[in-house]
Chain A
């Protein structure tokens, strides 16, 4: 445990030194609040390009719809940001030779990987919560002001395991290659597979796959309660499985 704490503290310090601890929450905040703002300004933006006298009528969206859309926005760009910040965590250190300096100390490869995974998961969770709460606040202010905070918070919390899953993919992909770019590509391909493949399968069990959790989080934001146990369990199972594969792979690797 002492070693894990030392490794964790080191990783944390690295986030501070590399300013990731500032840039990632800012990036997420911009990403999240840009959606409610652009939704609010959409009629004015459209009108500016139209001939004088054009009447544009767009029914104002509900707060839950705006939040749900902001959520979808994150699914695309936010995930890429998450992969970009974490893809070089192990691959880069192996390439530079720092991993060799660390792993000849009494640090198990599992602890080395788990310390990175924990810190990046915390950073991503914190940044996501920060961005989503800001988006919720702006949505509430800019739109009708009747945001149901409890539904929003449950929706945010439900999305967190999925964020950890993405970080897990990215960190573990980084054990397969010395190139951060290759690790990032592997993560993006795997992410696209787990989010898009289920759409082509017509079966009831598909709802229990990890992507079902994103759908559930979205539904909760809209105030619809649905079954979450299946996708939640599958996400946790996948996190443990991918971590185990990452640790085994790192143990087998030449450093």
Chain B
């Protein structure tokens, strides 16, 4: 559970967070979006206890991030955007050391080290020094170690930004599997990925919360389908007929090029070709556009 109440953060005269308030709970993946400088990383650093709010209350898993940092750390996993390690350690040594910090017994540490390194695809490199790891391997190790304590909340700051397409696909698959058992709070600039795996979206802009919605709700509210089609010649009668249809929300005509915003895509797809043919015109092009998360994002932050 994450609870923020009128949270502000000021650096000298710069207001990084401007009184954000929200509460989220339950398992699932929460996509945390915003432009560069929107305040995402500031908010994340606060949630994990690395930074404190200038004013307001931040509670994570019921614990005050100011006063109960160590208790909070027991229940949470965190992968920063650029994970850093003691590079003289091997991947396996780092995992074992992290396990000891969580006071896990030796057997559990061994079991989890192996399963997590295998799941993250770096088991083969376990005995190599971290200094020899690529950026992608460090990202994977960062994810593996964030899961060592089986957290209730996993906070990921740009988890796939350093990965190649295969690595990205694997990590996203892993997040998909994990989200049934924990809350995943993930910031990312790759909106296509967020759209695939997030169940909820939180959007920030200029230090303020601009959107908090479930993906389903978001789609029904914002993803109004648009149909673009062209006919062989200008037909004013068709324009008139279309304007009378209940399922047409908005209509824009440029000679023989039409752009329709529709309420119900299924009905529109069924009826529109018929109406065009009845008008005596010939259909030249027909295209349905469903706004993506990126379109919604751009609309919200512009």
Footprint of B on A, CB under 8 Å?
2-3, 6-7, 10, 13-14, 17-18, 96-98, 100-108, 254-255
Q: Could you show 11 A-B contacts with beta carbons less than 8 Å apart?
A: A17-B88, A96-B84, A98-B86, A100-B50, A104-B49, A104-B50, A105-B101, A106-B71, A106-B73, A108-B70, A255-B51
Which of B84, B103, B145 has most A Cβ within 10 Å?
A: B84
Residues 45-87 of B, flagged 1 when their CB comes within 8 A of A and 0 if not, give 1001111100000000000000001110110101010111110
Contact partners of B70 in chain A: CB under 8 A: 106-108
Q: Is there contact, CB below 8 Å, between A14 and B86?
A: yes
Min CB distance A83 to B, Å, is: 22
Q: Which residues of B contact A (CB under 8 A)?
A: 45, 48-52, 69-71, 73-74, 76, 78, 80, 82-86, 88-89, 97-98, 100-103, 142, 145
**Given the interface contacts A14-B86, A97-B80, does A106 sit within 8 Å of B51 by beta carbon?**
no
* Residue in contact with B84 in the complex, picked from A7, A17, A18, A98, CB distance below 8 Å: A98
Closest to A109 in B: B69
Whole-angstrom distance from the CB of A206 to the nearest CB of chain B? Answer: 41
Task: Determine the distance from Cα of A13 to Cα of B97 in the docked complex, in whole angstroms.
Answer: 12
- CB within 8 Å for A104 and B73 given contacts A2-B103, A254-B51: yes
Alpha-carbon distance between A18 and B89 when the two chains are bound, in angstroms: 11
Q: Which residues of A contact B97 (CB under 8 A)?
A: 6, 10
Q: Which residues of A contact B86 (CB under 8 A)?
A: 10, 14, 98
C-alpha gap A108/B74 in the complex (Å)? 12
CB neighbours (8 Å) of B89 from chain A are 13
Say how far B149's CB is from chain A's closest CB, in angstroms: 8
Residue contact A107 to B84, C-beta cutoff 8 Å: no
Residue of B nearest to A255 (CB): B50
CB distance from B171 to the nearest CB of A (A): 18
Given contacts A104-B73, A105-B73, A107-B101, contact A18 B88 (CB under 8 A): yes
The 7 closest A-B pairs by CB, nearest first: A97-B84, A17-B88, A6-B100, A106-B73, A255-B50, A105-B101, A98-B84
Let me know if B101 and A3 touch, CB within 8 A. Answer: yes
- Inter-subunit contact B74/A97 (CB<8 Å): no
- A202 to B266: give the CA distance in the assembly, Å: 96
Q: What chain A residues lie within 8 Å of B98 (beta carbons)?
A: 105
Q: Which residue of B lies closest to A108 (CB)?
A: B70
Which residues in A have their C-beta under 8 angstroms from that of B88?
13-14, 17-18
- B48 touching A104 by the CB < 8 A rule? yes
CA distance A7 to B97 in the complex (A): 9
Distance in Å: Cβ of B185 to nearest Cβ of chain A: 13
| A97–B100 CB distance below 8 A | no
B102 touches A105 (CB 8 A): yes
Residues of A within 8 A of B84 (CB): 96-98, 100-101
| A2-B100 contact given A17-B88, A97-B84, A255-B51, CB 8 Å threshold | yes
Q: CB-nearest residue of chain A relative to B142?
A: A101
Complex alpha-carbon distance, A97 and B145, angstroms: 15
| Nearest chain B CB to A151 CB, angstrom units | 42
Q: What residues of B have a CB within 8 angstroms of the CB of A13 in the complex?
A: 88-89
A91 CB to nearest chain B CB (Å): 14
Q: Among B50, B51, B76, B83, which residue has the most Cβ atoms of chain A within 10 A?
A: B50
- Across the interface, A97 reaches (CB within 8 A) one of B73, B82, B101, B102, namely B82
The closest CB in chain B to the CB of A252 belongs to B52
CB distance from A189 to the nearest CB of B (A): 26
Q: A3-B103, A103-B50, A254-B51 are in contact. List 12 more A-B contacts (CB 8 A).
A: A2-B103, A10-B86, A17-B88, A97-B80, A98-B86, A101-B84, A104-B49, A106-B70, A106-B101, A107-B73, A107-B101, A254-B45
Q: How far is the CA of A96 from the CA of B78 in the complex (A)?
A: 17
Is the Cβ of B50 less than 8 Å from the Cβ of A254?
yes
Residue of chain A at shortest CB distance from B129: A17
- CB neighbours (8 Å) of B76 from chain A are 104
- Are B101 and A104 within 8 A (Cβ)? no
Q: Known contacts A2-B100, A3-B101, A106-B73; decide if A101 and B80 are in contact (CB<8 Å).
A: yes
| Interfacial chain B residues near A105, Cβ < 8 Å | 73, 98, 101-102
Complex Cα spacing A14 to B97, Å: 13
Q: Which of A10, A106, A254, A255: most chain B Cβ within 10 A?
A: A106
**Smallest CB-CB separation from A254: which chain B residue?**
B51
- Taking the closest CB of chain B, its distance from the CB of A225, in whole angstroms, is 47
Q: What's the minimum C-beta distance from B129 to chain A, rounded to whole angstroms?
A: 9
Given the complex of chains A and B, what is the CA–CA distance between A13 and B89 in angstroms? 9
Residues of B within 8 A of A101 (CB): 80, 83-85, 142, 145
Whether the pair A100, B80 counts as a contact (CB closer than 8 A) is yes
